[in-house]
Amino acid sequence: MKIGVIGTGYVGLVTGTCFADSGNDVICVDIDEKKVERMRKGEVPIYEPGLNRVFDRAIRENRLVFTTNLDKAFQESEIIFLCLPTPPGADGQADLSFVLNVADQLGNLFNKYPGYRVIVNKSTVPVGTADKVHEKIAAKTDHEFDVVSNPEFLREGAAVEDFMKPERVVVGTRSQKAAEMMTALYEPFVRSGNPIIIMDERSSELTKYAANAMLATKITFMNEIANICEKVGANVDNVRRGIGTDSRIGKRFLFAGIGYGGSCFPKDVQAIHHTAGEYGYNFRILDSVMKVNEYQKVSIVEKMKLYYNGKLEGKTIGIWGLSFKPETDDIREAPALYITEELAKLGVKMKAYDPEAIETFKEASSDEALANIEFMDDRDSVINDVDALVICTEWNEFRRPDLSRFPKAMKEPVVFDGRNLYDLNRAEEAGLIYISVGRPSVNI
């Protein structure tokens, strides 16, 4: 099939590359000229495990091309995926301007290059957006087309695998023709029997928000349990094992930590909360989820204040991990952003390391924070001569360091672990003063 992909961010680039890998001809459009130039030269502009290999193959076989020219992509495509940003706008409402501006241009293009096409919203968009996109296009043309909702469930860090082997594909359309084309396109990805679930557009749009809101709530619930564990002297690891074995609850998304971040959960929770409000419904549980998560992100700074009796000024603190989760360079809404900003305000100097996200982190940080952070090339040099270490992201290389080195290298071997990476006995034996989330502190 001939596929157009508009927007080549985390979702668009993975979508385009994976469709090309399954034998389709894909043309990707982006307005970012530098990015398009890099991709044309065969460079993958984001860090995503496994993407390079599939990308190289698709380029080599000439099935994946990049352009800044929307006309060209439209002309050559039967199915056009909108993988555009939908950032939070005023009051947490999803900003649809990127999607609707492109929809507006598509209307004119139908007149220029007639022929039936399916326009697919892959961006995460509020209920009713398929209708809005339809209206925008129909206002400009009488040609036949369908607008389909096809939310994306990939996880950054495992995006290629998720796209290639989705647990389900959700397609929102009431058009038989569009449903058949979407089914044909996705069939190679669900050969092991996972379902392609066809439903109406609105249910499909809501499904994506419901999934993210449910996962954010599950994480937040566990963070609340962790906070209670700290008060009552329980260990959240034990509680997690105790409840995760219950199949009604399940083992995943039960790890306590310093809050959820990333480009999806925070904005999608806000957006569905806002949509509910627009329809006169107060989505109360999400009010709490957002409040708890806001606190959770900086809860580690509160623990530091407590440990140092409020006197953090002049301390040098090491930071391990800047991305919002491992295996990505995405720092959107990353707890590390909030923690470093907060520490800079308190007069703390920092030494920070992340395997992939230093450049993206620099772009997103304030001048004040950057003036207080020295970025290091490796994990081990961060801990030399620091007063304490803060672990913000659970990259694999932070999981098994030689803990016995900490007391020798650091001024004081204090570790504030926002991701509960170390066994408490191991930390104790290594002589760490170890403060984690929802577990008893060690050597205090």
Binding site for ligand NAD (CB under 6 A): 6-12, 29-32, 35, 83-86, 98, 102, 123-124, 152, 154, 156, 263-264
Per-residue tokens: 345: 């305000």
- For residue 107, the minimal CB distance to ligand NAD (Å) is 14
* Pairing label, strands 433-435, 145-149: unpaired
In the bound state with ligand NAD, the residue whose beta carbon lies nearer, of 264 and 348, is 264
Nearer to ligand NAD, 13 or 344 (CB): 13
Structure tokens at 172: 């929102």
Amino acid at 113: Y
CB closer to ligand NAD, 25 vs 30: 30
Q: Which residue sits closest to ligand NAD, CB atoms considered?
A: 9
Q: How far is the CB of 415 from ligand NAD (least distance, A)?
A: 30
Among residues 69 and 176, whose Cβ is nearest to ligand NAD? Answer: 69
If you search the block for the tokens 């205090």, which residue do you land on? 444
Segments in 365-399 forming alpha helices (H): 367-371, 379-383
Which has the closest alpha carbon to 132: 112, 171, 170, 106?
Answer: 106
Beta carbons within 10 angstroms of residue 408's beta carbon: 11
- Give the C-alpha distances (Å, rounded to integers) separating 83 from 35, 112, 119, 312, 344: 15, 23, 11, 43, 36
Instruction: Give dist(CA 181, CA 196) in Å, integer.
Output: 12
**Which of 205, 121, 180, 159 lies closest to 15, judged by CA?**
159
Which of 18, 28, 229, 264 is labelled catalytic? 264
Tokens encoding 410 = 């650091």
Least Å distance, CB 436 to ligand NAD, is 27
Q: Which residues of 8-25 are buried (b: 16+ CB within 10 A; e: fewer)?
A: bbbbbbbbbbbbbbbebb
Give least dist CB 58 to ligand NAD, A.
18
**Is 18 part of the annotated catalytic residue set?**
no
Looking up tokens 């098994």 gives: 400
Place of tokens 């954010």: 216
Environment class of 248 (CB within 10 Å of its CB; exposed 0-12, middle 13-18, buried 19+): exposed
Closest approach of Cβ 93 to ligand NAD, in Å? 13
Burial 201-210 (b: 16+ CB within 10 A, else e): bbebbbbbbe
Distance in Å, CB of 87 to ligand NAD, minimum? 8
In the bound state with ligand NAD, the residue whose beta carbon lies nearer, of 74 and 395, is 74
Residue nearer to ligand NAD on the CB measure, 10 or 338: 10
For the annotated catalytic residues, the residue numbers are 264
